[in-house]
Structure 1
């Protein structure tokens, strides 16, 4: 896109998007104009939104870098609660935040989300015991909602085609900072202790909240109505409880009282929410009007992002095993972890940005399908790459392209299927699918590895059969995503032909 002075399109006559055709005929106005090209003001706003997403990284991933120190401090070995709490909380917060954003304004809710994450970081900072700390992590989990709120804001800030490109830049831009952030956090933790991670998270949240409030415009698009608090609690709490069972059951026992209570309670909450949402006029998510294209899009996201996240976990496992151990796999070598995790950061940025540009040319459905195809190739390549570092790096790069493409195209596709006044809700649904796919596929992969463990020299290790079965599982998920993506493309083409004939 060319640079220039402020490029804007008048939106006083903006109209709603047709959910049936997915044709974007307007977007939410921001002070009567929208960006149509890159300019100084837009670049500044994009930088702020990338900062917001960087703050999310400090909530989700940074604490894992100091996990051993935190476990020692609280005198516990229950790492699963610390690992999963923020992502699960994000799934819980998302429906409420999405609906609230459509009713009360996206910027206002984003600022409130950042303040909640700030409060959560401060609670974690001073927590006297593990359960208070976990409560702080649940508050911090609201930050996960910041990701989809930035996307919803972009749809209001920019004209439709420009919004697709900017979405790619914002959703993937923070990945570049992830190259240096682990080393930075490890240094600060070594010098100042594990609490420094939460100090940094609080500072990021505070700065981001101030900048968003002062420099990001407020949308004038509103959905008349009220937030169904009871429905949001049922849906968010039910999702969090069921995903908690999936995530934590292997550590605490699938049939022990605690995990079973989570499963039963979560299933009951979701069932109750479904019944209520089918009857009331203003549910958190209107399941009666989701539409086939949106459902197919969400399925592609849950399968595709879940497969990618599970493969990311596998890279971390096999990178610590040397091929000299003769296990049939192993990538341990000087700099292996840096290559496997550093190169993907570049791939995510490239994939997200490219997906945004392609979406304006061929449509987000095609870009989404392309991301699935690339991910399938990268995963299949790991059948050989699990013991060949150069090939593994190539596969890692392909999978990172997939990650950037799927998230960007998923948001863009969902956005074209909803009118401006429902952008918050549909964006939150994409975010829930990302979290759901990550939790479920990681669990399935972990179960596959544990069921095929072998004992070598008195030590229990992952077997080659387990690693290859894990890769096969991820491949199957990508193939499922591919089938759904084909159905989505056919649905879109059929509706386009029907619309052309009717006109």
Structure 2
């Protein structure tokens, strides 16, 4: 049962911008930009890291992070509603700092993956932040603040590709993890000082069994898919992981219907706005994972290999290809924030997925021209920014305050599961189409690259279909009360 707020209720606070509020928002923005930037940095460093550790399983540097994010998000969402969103946000930042430190000093690929797994606790900071904003910011500032926070203001994301290149080319891949350690160590205390704790509380229980079943099931399926090309898709090892993981996932679904307070309350997903937004959110972040992983692999491949793709750029030169993604993501997010009262967020998600699909398709079939690839990256980034900013606005408007973090945790699980699975699938495609191996490094066929980008376009279409099916009117759903219109979103057009 929900506990009444002990202070002014969420959405009831009035007032304008104050220095403390601005600093709170800026520090939250920087943390959330670090989440995106950390993924971009590791994606850019993936060729160097894979070469250093002599592995073809580089996708696990991305998947391990997102797998932990997927499993921890619903759990931390419930804990946040029970004990406080700021408290859980700071806990996640502490664990992510430890993970980055571990990756920075990793002597082996296994330790590197372990560090990246702990870095997955940075994923829940996304929904914890916008849920916290919903509770403690003035109601008139919520929609704009959420849109800006979730898409960024370019404070890091635009400069990050150039910084990443400089770090990688001059100091090696370990330097990017030291950068993450320093940034979080500075921003964490600032958030603690400037951001109030949410007064909203929810009495509940923690479903540890559900967390174990979901985590083990996802891990089993991902291991099977990842190693299928090398083990053989019909080998006993591959089938054991795939079938075992699937069985555990089925067991998790059954458990969720039997447990009184499950890790993921499936009743939430039956609500049209929440269920469809969960699908759209997963598709958006899945698209981001695929594009930002394939782009550096394609651009950094030496042109002299004659694979019909690749420009042979180094990490610093690659910034010219990735900077447009960050810049146009920011533009898309600002646009959503400025038009939140005039344009329904569902239309922004529809438009965003169409634009991302266009970006994917253009890159898939035309990637021999540097200016065109840079242009296509910008197109993709703009669509991504629209979706990034619009998704949390729908969730905030769709759920009662005491279930904000819990519901956002469910959506965040989708935002982690889909981008966690897709890189493994992409690498399975790539590893099945190896053109050559040079000094232990695998290079892939042009056909494999095309298939990878087209897979992203298909995922964007899925997100588009989910967004089209969203209801025209946003109503507030609660497991305890009748639907109502969220006061922070009053006036949002149907």
TM-score calculated relative to the size of structure 2:
0.81
Query: 1:336 Cα shift?
Result: 7.0
Cα deviations by residue, 1:233-271 (Å, 9 ceiling, x for unpaired): 323443344344444544665455665554344323322
Tell me which residue corresponds to 2:272: 292
Q: 2:151 aligns with which of 172, 176, 180?
A: 172
Cα deviations by residue, 1:43-92 (Å, 9 ceiling, x for unpaired): 11111112322443565444555557766776766534434322222112
Gap change, CA 1:490 and 1:89, over 3 Å in 2: same
Query: 1:151 Cα shift?
Result: 1.5
Query: Aligned partners of 1:110 and 1:49: how far apart in 2?
Result: 10
* Aligned 1:69-108 pairs, distance under 5 A: 78-108=57-87
* Aligned 1:44-193 pairs, distance under 5 A: 44-57=23-36, 59-63=38-42, 78-125=57-104, 129-160=108-139, 162-173=141-152, 176-184=155-163, 187=166
Matched, 1:303 2:283: yes
Query: Aligned partners of 1:354 and 1:131: how far apart in 2?
Result: 42
Query: 1:304 Cα shift?
Result: 3.5
- Checking the alignment, whether the CA contact within 8 Å between 1:35 and 1:157 is kept in structure 2 is no
Tell me which residue corresponds to 1:417: 398
- Checking the alignment, whether the CA contact within 8 Å between 1:53 and 1:174 is kept in structure 2 is no
Query: Aligned partners of 2:405 and 2:456: how far apart in 1?
Result: 30
User: Secondary structure in 2 aligned to 1:386?
Assistant: coil
Deviates more, 1:388-397 or 1:318-327: 318-327
Cα deviations by residue, 1:333-354 (Å, 9 ceiling, x for unpaired): 8997333211111101111121
Tell me which residue corresponds to 1:482: 464
Tell me which residue corresponds to 2:210: 231
Query: 1:311 Cα shift?
Result: 3.0
Gap change, CA 1:376 and 1:183, over 3 Å in 2: closer
Q: 1:312 aligns with which of 292, 295, 309?
A: 292
Cα deviations by residue, 1:463-492 (Å, 9 ceiling, x for unpaired): 554444444433333233222222114686
Q: 2:353 aligns with which of 361, 364, 372?
A: 372
Query: 1:222 Cα shift?
Result: 0.7
Cα deviations by residue, 1:2-55 (Å, 9 ceiling, x for unpaired): xxxxxxxxxxx99xxxxxxxxxxxx9836x953664442321111111232244
- Checking the alignment, whether the CA contact within 8 Å between 1:374 and 1:401 is kept in structure 2 is yes
Q: 2:196 aligns with which of 217, 236, 239?
A: 217
Query: Aligned partners of 1:313 and 1:54: how far apart in 2?
Result: 17
Tell me which residue corresponds to 1:397: 378
Deviates more, 1:333-342 or 1:436-445: 333-342
Tell me which residue corresponds to 2:184: 205
Cα deviations by residue, 1:172-226 (Å, 9 ceiling, x for unpaired): 2275413434554555567666544443333333323322222210000011122
Cα deviations by residue, 1:340-398 (Å, 9 ceiling, x for unpaired): 21111110111112123333322211211121122233334335532333333222111
Query: Aligned partners of 1:426 and 1:393: how far apart in 2?
Result: 37
Deviates more, 1:275-284 or 1:332-341: 332-341
Gap change, CA 1:338 and 1:52, over 3 Å in 2: closer
User: Secondary structure in 2 aligned to 1:404?
Assistant: helix
- Checking the alignment, whether the CA contact within 8 Å between 1:176 and 1:346 is kept in structure 2 is no
User: Secondary structure in 2 aligned to 1:361?
Assistant: coil
User: Secondary structure in 1 aligned to 2:124?
Assistant: helix
Query: 1:323 Cα shift?
Result: 7.8
Gap change, CA 1:410 and 1:320, over 3 Å in 2: same
User: Secondary structure in 1 aligned to 2:202?
Assistant: coil
- Checking the alignment, whether the CA contact within 8 Å between 2:225 and 2:428 is kept in structure 1 is no
Gap change, CA 1:391 and 1:119, over 3 Å in 2: closer
Tell me which residue corresponds to 1:41: 20
Query: Aligned partners of 1:81 and 1:69: how far apart in 2?
Result: 14
Gap change, CA 1:70 and 1:400, over 3 Å in 2: closer
- Checking the alignment, whether the CA contact within 8 Å between 1:90 and 1:144 is kept in structure 2 is yes
Tell me which residue corresponds to 1:7: none
Query: 1:445 Cα shift?
Result: 3.9
Gap change, CA 1:106 and 1:141, over 3 Å in 2: same
Query: Aligned partners of 2:304 and 2:312: how far apart in 1?
Result: 9
Tell me which residue corresponds to 1:408: 389
Query: Aligned partners of 1:133 and 1:383: how far apart in 2?
Result: 31
Gap change, CA 1:79 and 1:390, over 3 Å in 2: closer
TM-score calculated relative to the size of structure 1:
0.80
Query: Aligned partners of 1:168 and 1:35: how far apart in 2?
Result: 19
- Count of paired positions: 471
Gap change, CA 1:248 and 1:97, over 3 Å in 2: farther
Matched, 1:277 2:256: yes
- Checking the alignment, whether the CA contact within 8 Å between 1:161 and 1:360 is kept in structure 2 is no
